[in-house]
Amino acid sequence: MDYQLIIRPAQIPAGSHLISWPGSPLLDALDVPLLAEMRAAGEGDARFGCAPFARITLIPQEAWQERATDALPVRLRALLKAPVSDTLVLDCTLLAAGGVRDGALRALFNLDHRLSDLKLMTSCPQERRVAALFAYCLPQQEASLAESLRLQHAVAAGMLAARRLADLPADLCTPQFVVEQATRLTADSPALRCEVLDETAIREQGLGLLHAVGKGAGCPPRLLAIHYDGASGGPVRSYVGKGVTFDTGGLWLKEGAGMYTMKYDMCGAANVLGLMLSIARLALPVRAMGVLALAENAIGPNAMQPGSVARACNGMTVEINNTDAEGRLVLADAIAWASRQHPQSRYIIDIATLTGAVVKALGYDLSGLMTQDEGLRAALTAAGLKSGDEVWSLPLDARLKPQTASRIADLCNTPTNNAAISASAAWLLHHFCSPEIPWAHLDVSGTALWREEGHSVASGRPIPLLVQHLLDDLRGEVGFVEAGSDS
């Protein structure tokens, strides 16, 4: 979707859809008789008698300013599923810096992806799309809004790439397919390069947990590292994504209803890919690495068995007492591998659709944050509030140690008492990050999908959170000046 910033009524294209609010000062300059009646009513939606516009929608002021429920982005997505014009004029006078504004702009840019784009229907309807966004504001808001548009367009580009990949059926989106798509998507950026470990290299480098999860499938596992060299030096910021391209539960077989959405068990990896694309598009002056731990958890003659023991690349052994707790296994190896690659990393953040328990605790709007690094906890929490992609902390300390105790190995992958499932998984993971590196775990089981009208689709979260966190970190570290500014 293209976008343009406008500050004068003469710049508004005829036949567009105007979305505004009743008290907007921008409406005073528009000669549309119907507007007076709509403004008096406090809201409205008209497709007739609103020339030169094709449609005018007035959304109440409180919806523009409500942060907690994502009211404005939700209304915009619903409103524009079947647009009457391919040109949208958005009144931005009420969109204050951060939060609501960012969410609204991202929601609009994310309209560029629909399930029909996957071209899996024999007859796809010709759907009208919003092709151009005109952001209409007061002159004094122009500079701030221009930077937000640039930033959110780049963030949405990464989200769109992640969503398109995650929405594909698992028989198409295999570990090797993800590698091929990542290689294709990163080819246009000279600052990005891909490093791939196939099943042989995975074994040779001692990633026994990733191997254990993937060895039962006909599609072998992969470890993909995407390197971003936007600076010649400085610490590397690392992101690790769970990429279980389909999760049957293995020999600990899921029931059918629980298996239906398991093609989305690779959203963590897809979002790490999208994050790296957003970072490159913004040309941020930083070194970063995204690690995608890719495997299919399948049933087969070689599938891992409950009670087996596997060794990670940092030497630690894990008793696999539940083959449906495979995500923490692939993540553990990838975190350990990332620690080994860059022992002076500024931080490692992993992203995973890891536990249903986090959904029971936090619902579908908040991602679970678990870390023992208070600085990282505070920074991610602040970035969540600023971006509108929020997190909520769960405890992580030595009281969880019995939850991962094993009598035969260093650790077991699930607690036998079925308690503190989300935090117990994080407690296991923390053993695989070097103690010198700040580490945080994001459980996005509730937030990695949008749930609307009874259907689930990939959301692209927490890419907005992680981009905001990176920007905040850069500003704090080096007095960062945002790319594209004049100063």
- The predicted pLDDT at position 96 comes to 61
- The predicted pLDDT at position 256 comes to 86
- The predicted pLDDT at position 98 comes to 55
Please tell me the distance from the alpha carbon of residue 324 to that of residue 327, in angstroms, as a whole number. 8
Catalytic annotation present for 47? no
- The predicted pLDDT at position 483 comes to 40
- Which amino acid would we find at residue 107? A
- Is the four-CA dihedral 452, 115, 247, 446 of positive or negative sign? negative
Catalytic annotation present for 254? yes
Please tell me the distance from the alpha carbon of residue 318 to that of residue 461, in angstroms, as a whole number. 30
| Alpha-carbon distances of 324 from 169, 329, 363, 442, rounded to whole Å | 20, 10, 21, 19
Place of tokens 């509030």: 385
- The predicted pLDDT at position 477 comes to 55
Those residues of the chain that have pLDDT short of 70 are 96-100, 477-487
CA gyration radius, the chain: 23
- Which amino acid would we find at residue 140? Q
Nearest to 397 by CA among 367, 377, 417, 418: 377
Q: Which of 150, 164, 328, 377 is catalytic?
A: 328
Domains of the chain and any CATH numbers: 2-114+130-156 (3.40.220.10), 169-477 (3.40.630.10)
**Beta-bridge partners for 351:** 241, 442
